Structure 1
């Protein structure tokens, strides 16, 4: 990976509003995490609106939405990153705060907040347009990285559960966005091209581990969740994954987001 050390720890989490999450436990989590890189989604804040001191000790890169209070992604790194790029080379989604990537030695890391659709509505149409444009972008990014002898890792809230094992109640969600047949086929095509679903590779043949639970009812207490927060890697990096954990809060009261951090250790 070209790092000064042999291990790279990467964590990703949808914070569901960084200002609210900071006061609920995100600040303590950031202070304690062993991660070398943290990818954040749904920050819903401009860089100057991030609570003072929250990113102390980190190099932060931001891709906020042009619409205040919406979307937004960021990447925190211990080491100062190289080039940073925003967007997926598409005019419609430029400035949408949905994609940011940075270069570290030997690897390009991205934070993704893929649109959350609602079946049969314009929101789903928007999500489908993003999918149609994101797949060729990923192919291009992978080709460029290969030419530079680099790996690629796209972390974030993909808002798609690829398999039945990724939703506790999959039978009740077959017509809902995030588990629609064409969405799962889209992800299957990515994996068919060689991209690696790192967490699933580390947890084969089991339900979950889920990374999102609705705030409604007792979804968290009953572990009625979805696995929609993914690490998607090029094959070389995927093969270096040593462990993958979802940092599920001990209790509902201790949650600081409706998502939990997904942390993967990469190393020889």
Structure 2
């Protein structure tokens, strides 16, 4: 039978879907439920379902990011969004990211049954019959299901875009791959692979590049000590900062600053007509 998971922060919705829908009619059964986005992701990874009904307006949940993560890590999974969030652009983006149906609450039984029928048809077209479900071994976050196509999909691009934006916003902190992966709802392994494929760089290289670009801007201010700049761009160890800076720029931070300040002085003299 096809395995179904329900994700909604309203228990009455989960209970209603579980009891009122004739799941057996489509060879389906509800195997688990979750009441927030993080719990939903964990349950999906554990149960390896075929179909997910989920709300995208739950506390501490970025709905589109969650959809992208599910589709990227589980490309064969059929997802139906069931929500009270009425925004056409959001719905259009959700469908682009791989959602099969986008239903507004309150949905009637006819809409729900049409969505289930469509998702079951899609599963059959993929060769998934639901007769002998293969459960992902515990501890494996579903990466066995990852395909090259999944990495190039809109969901993969969406995840990378948001990961890069998060790095840009939090580069000055003690940022880790695990933290960024958590914010994009994917495993560290999966995010690392996506970053490498889309940018050609590792997480560490990307973070260091962002930090060095910020440092170069700060070095234009002669009043700022290099040790201060090092701390402001996220380095606790100035020696480490110096090594990374020279590796990326080919010169030390001091040499870079002197070169930049020298250019600024020459430019100022030219503007003032000095020789």
Tell me, yes or no, whether TM beats 0.5: no
- After TM superposition, the score normalised by the length of structure 1 is 0.26
- After TM superposition, the score normalised by the length of structure 2 is 0.26
More strand by share: 1
**Does 1 or 2 have the higher relative contact order (CA < 8 Å, sep 6+)?**
1
More helix by share: 2
